[in-house]
């Protein structure tokens, strides 16, 4: 729910969440039915939408129960179900005709004939396969009904397998990615073993971050988002599955500002560069442009290393008298540290941590215990729901090369 609130506050028009059935999130991330109802209420109160993922491939027993589940989702106010399986689409359309259906990227829709077929089945939107280029998307758009909405991923984690159809986790751990239980085994470090030298492990490629030859890049389309729109995509999807509220807020904020700049004519190379810097503030793997411009770039030494210019240290929970704020601590920070403020209202807010006090009112030199509350001096413009971060001392603290968003070698 905290991540949902972050997405809504920082500008998402809609949020996908997992429910209790057939969702490709880890079990602990799924919303119970009462929580789904509350999530829908919160989204609708802000004029936003709530979409529920039903994109696992159901078994015979699960398909039998899907009609009742679809009716329950429709009754609680879900605006759409995202679905991959043909039988699931047909079942939902029959059982709950008022519940819109979005076709998941797991369905691997890569051509206009498939998109038309889904439209004929009653799908309102297709989330395109991630392997499509801008030219292929434009052709698909030109050859499909105008009322079929197209959605595409523009940011976040990319699976090393074809549209996520991976069996590596299931083989090594018994946890199937196609059932929402991926152990992210492609992020693990691997070595080479020679047949006649058992037990002797040779690194495939050695660097400071280890050897992660299967780990993919993170997608970043912020720098060419206008090109994605021009190809006919009407909904930009940000990958936030199993991410922290801080990550969700950071990425949503950057893309909300980028889209608004495109719509009101204020977009500029300087704005894009500044927003790229915002994206660098969240933990990520090396960025690339995915397949939008053709074949994705090849492995580089830093690919498997998590990067990030900032550390998330706290959430502003309350405004106090005398210009002070109450902060829920997430990571350690000290009095005198410069704290950057992540806010939907302004870029570039910052303050120096000063006059820290704990719950007992005693002065503190540092905030060290996660999930405890610390009071401190605030600054103009800071509001409850804002996030505080500390920029790494080894960060170059400069605007990044905008070509990084295109995955330039």
Q: Which domain holds residue 68?
A: 2-178+215-288
- Is 229 found in the same domain as 359? no
Query: What is the helix (H) or strand (E) element at residue 76, kind and residue range?
Result: helix 60-76
The model's confidence at residue 165, banded by pLDDT at 50, 70 and 90, is low
CATH number at residue 43: 3.20.20.110
Given a cut of 50, whether residue 122 has pLDDT beyond it is: yes
Q: Residue 316 and residue 388: Cα distance in Å, rounded?
A: 7
**3-state DSSP assignment of residue 40:** helix
- Is 279 found in the same domain as 137? yes
Q: How far lies 155's CA from each of 39, 101, 223, 401, in Å?
A: 23, 23, 11, 17
Query: What is the helix (H) or strand (E) element at residue 120, kind and residue range?
Result: helix 112-120
Given a cut of 80, whether residue 404 has pLDDT beyond it is: no
Query: What is the helix (H) or strand (E) element at residue 153, kind and residue range?
Result: strand 149-157
Given a cut of 60, whether residue 210 has pLDDT beyond it is: no
- Is 259 found in the same domain as 340? no
Q: Is residue 399 part of a domain?
A: no
> Taking the model in full, what pTM does it have?
0.85
- pLDDT for the residue 28: 64
CATH number at residue 380: 2.40.30.10
Query: What is the helix (H) or strand (E) element at residue 202, kind and residue range?
Result: strand 201-203
Q: % helix / strand / coil in the chain, to the nearest 5?
A: 35, 20, 45
- pLDDT for the residue 107: 92
Q: 166-201 pLDDT, tens per residue?
A: 777 777 788 777 666 777 777 777 777 777 878 777
Relative to beta strand 201-203, strand 235-238 is unpaired
Residues 53 and 104: beta-carbon distance below 8 Å: yes
Q: Is residue 246 part of a domain?
A: yes
- Is 240 found in the same domain as 375? no
- pLDDT for the residue 26: 60
Given a cut of 60, whether residue 296 has pLDDT beyond it is: yes
How many structural domains does the chain have?
2
Residues 25 and 53: beta-carbon distance below 8 Å: yes
- Is 373 found in the same domain as 273? no
Q: Residue 332 and residue 389: Cα distance in Å, rounded?
A: 10
Given a cut of 70, whether residue 206 has pLDDT beyond it is: no
Across 15-29, 83-97, 143-157, 296-310, least confident range = 296-310
């Amino acid at each position: 729910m905290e991540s949902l609130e972050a997405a809504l506050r920082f500008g998402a028009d809609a949020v996908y969440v997992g429910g209790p059935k057939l969702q490709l999130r880890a079990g602990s991330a799924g919303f119970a039915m009462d929580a789904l109802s509350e999530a829908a209420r919160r989204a609708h109160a802000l004029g936003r939408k709530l979409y529920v993922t039903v994109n696992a491939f159901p078994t015979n027993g699960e398909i039998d129960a899907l009609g009742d589940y679809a009716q329950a989702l429709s009754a609680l106010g879900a605006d759409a179900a995202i679905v991959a399986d043909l039988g699931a689409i047909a079942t939902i359309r029959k059982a709950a005709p008022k519940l819109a259906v979005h076709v998941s990227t797991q369905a691997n829709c890569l051509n206009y004939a498939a998109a038309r077929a889904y439209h004929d089945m009653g799908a309102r939107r297709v989330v395109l396969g991630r392997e499509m280029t801008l030219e292929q998307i434009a052709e698909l758009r030109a050859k499909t009904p105008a009322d079929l909405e197209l959605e595409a991923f523009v940011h976040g984690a990319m699976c090393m397998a074809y549209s996520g159809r991976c069996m590596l986790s299931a083989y090594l751990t018994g946890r199937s990615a196609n059932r929402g239980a991926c152990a992210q085994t492609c992020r693990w470090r691997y070595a080479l073993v020679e047949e006649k030298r058992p037990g002797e492990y040779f690194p495939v490629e050695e660097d400071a971050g280890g050897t992660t030859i299967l780990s993919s890049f993170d997608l970043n389309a912020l720098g060419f988002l206008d090109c994605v729109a021009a190809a006919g995509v009407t909904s930009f999807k940000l990958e936030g599955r199993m991410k922290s509220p801080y990550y969700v807020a950071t990425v949503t904020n950057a893309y909300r500002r980028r889209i608004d700049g495109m719509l009101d004519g204020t977009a500029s190379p300087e704005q894009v560069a500044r927003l790229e810097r915002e994206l660098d503030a969240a933990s990520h793997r090396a960025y690339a442009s995915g397949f939008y411009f053709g074949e994705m770039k090849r492995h580089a030494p830093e690919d498997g290393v998590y990067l990030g210019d900032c550390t998330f240290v706290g959430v502003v929970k309350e405004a106090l008298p005398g210009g002070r704020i109450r902060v829920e601590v997430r990571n350690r920070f000290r009095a005198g540290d410069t704290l950057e403020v992540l806010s939907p209202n302004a870029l570039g807010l910052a303050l120096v941590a000063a006059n820290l006090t704990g719950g007992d009112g005693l002065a503190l030199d540092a905030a060290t215990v996660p999930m405890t509350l610390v009071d401190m001096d605030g600054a103009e413009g800071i509001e409850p729901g804002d996030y505080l971060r500390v920029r790494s001392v080894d960060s170059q603290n400069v605007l990044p090369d905008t070509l990084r968003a295109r995955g330039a070698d």
